[in-house]
Amino acid sequence: MGDPPAPADRPEHTDDAPGAGHAARIGWLGGSFDPIHEGHLSIATLAAERFGLERVLLVPAARPPHKLGVRQAPAEDRLRWVEQAVADDPRLEACDVELRRDGPSYSVVTARELRERFGPDTQLHYIIGADTLADLPNWYRIEELCELVTFCAVTRPGTPLDAGPMEAVVGSDAAAHIVEHLLEVDPHPASSTAIREALGRGEAPQHLPAVILEDVLASGVYGAGGASSSDVSGGSADRP
């Protein structure tokens, strides 16, 4: 399933590379988005402002490695909801790069494909939770990934960041570069788990984008309307 048709003031296709001589600044926020919520959108827009990004790609994971065997909404539903949720913001764009391929969602493979899509000079800003930094040395081909992306760690304001675990893998200079690209964000109350549980009880969920509420309810994948998801995700990839 391809990316949605875009309004006139945003790129026509995610696949379009920038013009010659232009090094695009692209953000990349991955996740299950099961479902996408206001907290995800807040982080994406704040990252665009903080790092001067031309756009931020929201990339639903096909097989999140940290959710082995966990029941999920089908990929096509999760992608469609992301498309609907970002449709009115020209800085945000749904991207199905991980849904197009089989197997676990290795971050380094996604980075390679995005660099191919947007051009080798593209500056990829990979937005991750600061609590995942300690596990980065265990990710698949982390040295290569560090060469392909700039990590932008999301943390609470005033919370010190320990990039020490990364130094042994990427060196002190690269670890310091991670510290320089912090995205301080006030905690958001949104929770995909809470949204799913509310829908399962037949209650109105909080922090679900209003534009996708009707579609989510109609799908019935979280138990709303009496149905439930039969999509099981699994994998053994790098992403914590």
Q: Where are the domains of the chain?
A: 25-233
Q: In what order do the strands lie in the sheet with 92-94?
A: 92-94, 55-60, 25-31, 123-129, 149-155, 182-184
SS3 per residue for 189-203: CCCHHHHHHHHHCCC
Query: Mean pLDDT of all residues in the chain?
Result: 83
Confidence of residue 172 (pLDDT cuts 50, 70, 90): confident
Q: Is the per-residue pLDDT at 4 higher than 50?
A: no
For the four alpha carbons of 101, 13, 128 and 142, in that order, the dihedral sign comes to positive
153 in Cβ contact with 55 (< 8 Å): no
Cis-peptide into 35, omega within 30 deg: yes
CA-to-CA separations, 7 to 13, 89, 185, in angstroms, rounded: 10, 10, 29
Confidence of residue 185 (pLDDT cuts 50, 70, 90): very high
The alpha carbon of residue 55 and the mean position of all alpha carbons in its chain are separated, in whole angstroms, by: 13
Please state, in angstroms and rounded to a whole number, the distance separating the CA atoms of residues 97 and 60. 8
Q: Across the strands, what pairs with 128?
A: 153
Query: Is the domain 25-233 a CATH 3.40.50.620 member?
Result: yes
Nearest to 83 by CA among 211, 186, 206, 171: 211
The average pLDDT across 22-29 equals: 91
The average pLDDT across 178-196 equals: 93
Confidence of residue 167 (pLDDT cuts 50, 70, 90): confident
Please state, in angstroms and rounded to a whole number, the distance separating the CA atoms of residues 82 and 47. 17
Contacts of 159 (CB under 8 A, 6+ apart): 130, 184
73 token code pair: 């909404």
Q: Per the confidence metrics, is the pTM higher than 0.85?
A: no
SS3 per residue for 70-128: EEECCHHHHHHHHHHHHCCCCCEEECCCCCCCCCCCCHHHHHHHHHHHHCCCCEEEEEE
Share of the chain above pLDDT 90, in %: 61
Confidence of residue 31 (pLDDT cuts 50, 70, 90): very high
Q: What is the pLDDT of residues 58-115, one digit of tens each?
A: 999 986 555 555 678 999 999 999 999 999 999 999 999 999 988 788 999 999 999 9
